Chains A and B, each alone.
Chain A
Amino acid sequence: MKEINDLNLPEDLKYTKDHEWAKNSDGVITIGINDYAQDQLGEIVFVELPEVGDTFEKGDEFGSVESVKAVSEIYMPVAGEIVEINEALEDAPELVNESCYDNGWLIKVKIDDTSEFEALLDKGAYLDMLKG
């Protein structure tokens, strides 16, 4: 496992206590799992994602990530409607390990209200939580 100081946590993203990241582009939130999560899960062999058009509340399980012999649920950091999923992960789930903030994104969500997004952790607060 990486040391906390070795984690790649871009400054311009928001984070969750479930080790996801989120980025707002004009009311569409891109969501993925962060460097801590991909590192502690190990080699990811399958990603289960929702359908475009599905709607979720904040905290709902929206899919799962299977690393070798382990299935981990993933949760919505904000409420909204799924407008796009990363279809490349179907054939190349390893992208989540190789490029968790870029080619390994999971879903894009349309939100009505940005307050849930704004309430997510910034890098400093997330690091504080990790250091516990």
Chain B
Amino acid sequence: MPVRLAAGMLESVRSEPEKSEYDRLEYENMDCQKSGPCRDKKKRFALFKDLGVLEYNKALALQIKTIEVIQDRAKLSPCSLPDQKYSGETVFFVEHPPVFTLGKRGGLENLTVSNEFLNSKNVDIVKTDRGGNITWHGPGQAVLYPVIDLEKNRISVKDFVHGLEEIMKLTASDFNIKADRDRKNHGIWVGNAKIGSVGISVKRGISMHGLALNINPDLEAFSWINPCGLNDISMTSLKKELLKNKSCDESAFIQLKAMQDDCSSIQLMERVKKSFQKYFSLVFDFELVVRSQV
């Protein structure tokens, strides 16, 4: 199975960073003006961290910890912070090992296979407090978790969800794939097939969870659920769409042709990561400070 192979190879290269990196949440070593003017309140800054391949629960714990950091730093005077520009707000880029997640109101009723079957496939189910219904995450899917102080930045929840969808739409357009919202359903679609999902929660004005865009995952797992609680929908991916129309983005197609070569798979994910960075900055007017992977 070439996709599985690609995903496995991917894991070995985009490996999990050392624990100390996300336990410590270091901001103090950032290159910033220690004696400069106080943080410009009009400017929005956030860190961008690539977590590589990380288990869902670990990424969840990291987001919760980041919210605590943001809350702690918000209590301090900006002038007392050694790195005045950084509020602790962080955008995490990650791929997960296979997992199903449920929304705040559940979604287990939209699982169409038995628990025994999932056990045999070694796929966990995690209950979360985000909006939306059941979904799948796994290798080959690009996930973005922006932990952002919406209240401080005066970004409405409505606009934030809309903006996350916009990031996926614009990212697809970088591959010459026309993706858009659906009038009835949220998320991002190519024709009648869903390519990207969104779901967030807001605690004390700070966002967590985010978006998931299918790049080159094994889409089979989506057939075990009614994704997002919707019946009779099909899922798609950048890879699937690129293969349908190989002339639309030649460079990406060439990468796909060589998908058994894991370097190509990584290049595709890297292109998506760059698009996410570019469009997150553009859509939400943020300056992202990219932390290189450990």
Contacts and interface: CB of A to CB of B under 8 A. Distances in A.
B198 to A, nearest CB: 5
A72 B157 contact: yes
Contacts of B159: 1, 40
A41 B159 CA distance: 9
B131 A66 contact: yes
A68 interface: yes
Interface in B182-241: 186, 198-205
B156 A70 contact: no
B98 interface: no
Contact of A73 (B156, B158, B161, B204): B204
Contact of A41 (B132, B158, B198): B158
B160 interface: yes
Contacts of A75: 204
Nearest to B200: A70
A84 interface: no
B105 A70 contact: no
A53 interface: no
Main secondary structure of the interface of A (DSSP, over half): strand
A122 interface: no
Contacts of B200: 69-71
B161 A69 contact: yes
A125 to B, nearest CB: 17
Nearest to A39: B156
Interface string B117-136: 00000000000011110000
Interface in A57-71: 64, 66-71
Given A1-B159, A41-B158, A64-B104, A69 B202 contact: no
A67 B104 contact: no
B202 A72 contact: yes
A70 B204 contact: no
B187 to A, nearest CB: 8
Contacts of A81: none
A71 B156 contact: no
A67 B157 contact: yes
Contact of A71 (B198, B202, B204, B205): B202
A64 B103 CA distance: 13
Contacts, number: 64
Given A1-B156, A42-B158, A69 B105 contact: no
A46 interface: yes
A75 B205 CA distance: 11
Contact of B161 (A1, A18, A39, A70): A70
A72 B160 CA distance: 13
A71 B158 contact: no
B104 A48 contact: yes
Nearest to B202: A72
A70 B131 contact: yes
A64 B160 CA distance: 18
A69 B104 contact: no
Nearest to A1: B156
Contacts of A64: 104, 129
23 contacts: A18-B205, A40-B157, A41-B156, A41-B158, A42-B161, A64-B104, A64-B129, A67-B131, A67-B157, A68-B131, A68-B186, A69-B132, A69-B199, A70-B130, A70-B158, A70-B161, A70-B199, A70-B200, A70-B202, A71-B103, A71-B130, A71-B202, A73-B202
Most buried by B among A42, A69, A75: A69
Interface in B143-175: 156-161
Given A71-B200, A71-B202, 13 more contacts: A1-B156, A41-B156, A66-B131, A69-B161, A69-B186, A69-B199, A70-B157, A71-B103, A71-B104, A71-B129, A71-B131, A73-B201, A73-B204
The 10 closest A-B pairs by CB, nearest first: A42-B158, A40-B156, A72-B202, A69-B131, A71-B201, A70-B131, A71-B131, A71-B104, A70-B200, A70-B157
